[in-house]
Chain A
Amino acid sequence: TQLLEQSPQFLSIQEGENLTVYCNSSSVFSSLQWYRQEPGEGPVLLVTVVTGGEVKKLKRLTFQFGDARKDSSLHITAAQPGDTGLYLCAFGGATNKLIFGTGTLLAVQP
């Protein structure tokens, strides 16, 4: 059973387009994190959301935590080739371990 389902699984778009990826669960989380992983590298933390309904912006990236704290979304405006990578949501389980979602692989074509 996968606790965090991400959609879509794959996404290929042209430079300049907007996109949204989703992270859904039936469980309630105290916090949720988003990571980006580039090919051949480890995941890099983008943001942590804590409060239901919270919206955080990081340049062209907008993160939202659902009101019920069961889901989250990541919206990218005017995507660039540098946004290419694997986007992972994650929550902190017992003993600090991170439980990752299934991931969304994004390719932005120039």
Chain B
Amino acid sequence: NAGVMQNPRHLVRRRGQEARLRCSPVKGHSHVYWYRQLPEEGLKFMVYLQKENIIDESGMPKERFSAEFPKEGPSILRIQQVVRGDSAAYFCASSPPRQGVFYEQYFGPGTRLTVT
């Protein structure tokens, strides 16, 4: 069973460029979550998607950031006009539909974005 896959693992962008981060969930999982880990802030929720729907984007910055999870293909986190403060590790997680009180999410290895 393949786990959550993310690519690229490392991404370097100059200020003002666009960054596209991809996430393929565990086979059969229809729920995808994106988190960002900054050195001084810890691991923070960004967005929760199901196929073709954004369920909760309360953790997404209001500008420059967008996410999608199309019917076919991976989930994409897109950051337009990157700035140095966007440098962080971005993690994707997936889960099957919620059962009871458990929120078992399976994390990918992350994409480390460096903005120069």
Contacts and interface: CB of A to CB of B under 8 A. Distances in A.
Interface residues of A, number: 25
A31 to B, nearest CB: 5
Given A41-B109, A44-B107, A103-B42, A95 B56 contact: yes
Interface residues of B, number: 27
Given A30-B101, A41-B109, A98 B45 contact: yes
Nearest to B110: A42
Nearest to A50: B101
A95 B48 contact: yes
Interface string B81-115: 00000000001010100100111111111100000
A96 interface: yes
B46 to A, nearest CB: 9
B33 interface: yes
A43 interface: yes
B110 A96 contact: no
A48 interface: yes
B98 A96 contact: yes
Contact of A43 (B31, B58, B107): B107
B45 A99 contact: yes
Interface in B17-59: 31, 33, 35, 42-45, 48, 55-56, 58-59
Interface of B: 4, 31, 33, 35, 42-45, 48, 55-56, 58-59, 91, 93, 95, 98, 101-110
